[in-house]
Structure 1
Amino acid sequence: MNKPALSPSEEAAIRELLDADRQKTSARVAMLGSDRDEIVKSAALTSPDDEHDPEGTSTAFERAHIQALLDQGLEHLDDLDLAYERLRDGSYGICAGCGQRIAIERLMILPAVKTCVACASKRR
């Protein structure tokens, strides 16, 4: 890699986006964890026959749904950590698939992204 993928101003903007995304995602993970804990606690207070609420949604389904959202949030936090690492080591903005630069517009929309549009399209 001869030339950095980002200018200093682009790197500063990306760092701000990553920081904002981390704060938002961390808050969401905390909220989902709290929601999951409340579901588990309330389910422990009811008998197994009372597993369904009046509208028919099972607590098990709600718990699984919240857990899936929580897992996605935690995975996104991991992706953000990897993006910070790439910023530090100078590989940020370089596609993990083809080694070409990722368009700054794509990075500004999805700051934790690892692939360019062409490589992302190939995976679909």
Structure 2
Amino acid sequence: MPTQTKLTAADLRHFEKLLRSQRHELDVALGRIGTTLDDVIEARNSGTADDEHDPEGPTLTMEWSRISGVHSDLAAKSVAIDQALARITDGSFGLCTRRGEPIGRERLEARPAAELCIDCARDLEAQRRG
């Protein structure tokens, strides 16, 4: 395994810019999905849509459930980005929150909001499965 080095100030600026860009994209997506979710909720609550008898598409309940799930996923990603930005501010970005070891630039490039090194992430995933 390659030796990990501390991130430089330039690295931190790079990741902060990347995280802020991802956060902006998530904010836009959350705004769109929020509007769609509001539309489905309004249609469900208005009682004017007969969604249970439409064989061609999903029911409003199914659509609400799907959109709500997507909204929750986007919101969780947004929180993870905010936490990563806070780690940049407090000087702990790039360190595994479990072991305190460097996460590795390659992992951070792939997942800038990562808070665990690849080994800890694999351990956690194995625990969830088993």
Q: Do Structure 1 and Structure 2 share a fold, with TM-score over 0.5?
A: yes
C-alpha distance in structure 1 between counterparts of 2:32 and 2:24, whole Å = 12
Code of the residue aligned with 1:67 in structure 2: it is S
TM-score by length of 2: 0.85
Deviation, structure 1 residue 47: 4.6
Deviation, structure 1 residue 54: 3.9
Give matches, 1:80-119, under 5 Å: 80-119=81-120
Deviation, structure 1 residue 44: 3.3
C-alpha distance in structure 2 between counterparts of 1:123 and 1:81, whole Å = 22
- Residue 65 of structure 1 corresponds to which residue in structure 2? 66
Whether 1:51 aligns to 2:48 is: no
Look up the SS of the partner of 2:116 in the other structure: coil
C-alpha distance in structure 2 between counterparts of 1:20 and 1:88, whole Å = 17
C-alpha distance in structure 2 between counterparts of 1:9 and 1:57, whole Å = 49
| Structure 1 unmatched runs, 5+ | none
Give matches, 1:30-49, under 5 Å: 30-47=31-48
TM-score by length of 1: 0.88
| Structure 2 unmatched runs, 5+ | 126-130
Code of the residue aligned with 1:121 in structure 2: it is R
Percent same amino acid at aligned positions?
Answer: 26
Aligned length: 120
Code of the residue aligned with 2:72 in structure 1: it is D
C-alpha distance in structure 2 between counterparts of 1:73 and 1:42, whole Å = 23
C-alpha distance in structure 2 between counterparts of 1:5 and 1:87, whole Å = 13
Segments ≥4 residues shifted beyond 3 Å: 44-48
Mean Cα deviation higher: 23-32 or 34-43: 34-43
- Indicate if the aligned counterparts of 1:101 and 1:116 stay in contact, CA closer than 8 A: yes
Deviation, structure 1 residue 98: 1.5
C-alpha distance in structure 1 between counterparts of 2:120 and 2:44, whole Å = 45
C-alpha distance in structure 2 between counterparts of 1:87 and 1:46, whole Å = 48
- Residue 7 of structure 2 corresponds to which residue in structure 1? 6
